[in-house]
Amino acid sequence: MGKPVNRPELDFSFKSYIPEILRGIKVTNRHFWRNLVGQKDIVTVQYPEVKRPYPPRLRGRHRLMKRDDGQVRCVACMLCATACPSNCIEIVAGEHEDKGIEKYPVSFKIDLLTCIFCGNCEEACPCDAIRLDTGIHAPPFTTREEHVVNKEHLLERGGLSVAKQGGIL
């Protein structure tokens, strides 16, 4: 067996937790008055009025770029969906009326709840069709369906791309 440990006998005040409760109230009051009077030590940001700047590496939300004629630049090659590690991109391809354009996305959906904003879709896109350079943070939504953004929503934020379409120099 082990060596016996001598334990001190506890009195009634220590068993009743009253000294510890009073010590906790003292700590709480000290923090309360220090925060109320001297607010220079507070690290809390008063959010609606004061906003922290985003870091320069923030990619932001997705956007789809447009051609000169206003159509989507995406040719539904599925490289962005293939490169996505979280499988949050869903593209349905369709045949385009213009013979110079083989395919276009009939449906383009991104699930922002599963997206990790890694930028692999932007890197994999050969047409400069998808970008993550908006600098806009994804707002909170109340339902899961609101987190799935479609092609029309992505085109609202997108503008004309300065890259040459089709590799023409």
pLDDT tens figures, 36-70: 887 666 777 888 888 888 888 888 889 999 988 88
Q: Across the strands, what pairs with 104? A: 94
Edge-to-edge order in the sheet of strand 103-111: 89-95, 103-111, 148-149
Given a contact cutoff of 8 angstroms between Cβ atoms, the answer to whether 59 and 133 are in contact is: yes
Cα–Cα dist 108/93, whole Å: 9
What is the model's pLDDT at position 165?
Answer: 61
What is the model's pLDDT at position 123?
Answer: 94
Nearest to 110 by CA among 66, 148, 77, 83: 148
What is the model's pLDDT at position 124?
Answer: 94
Residues lower than pLDDT 70 in the chain = 39-41, 162-169
* Domain boundaries defined on the chain: 63-164
CB-based contacts of 24, cutoff 8 Å, min separation 6: none
Question: Span 63-164: which CATH code?
Answer: 3.30.70.3270
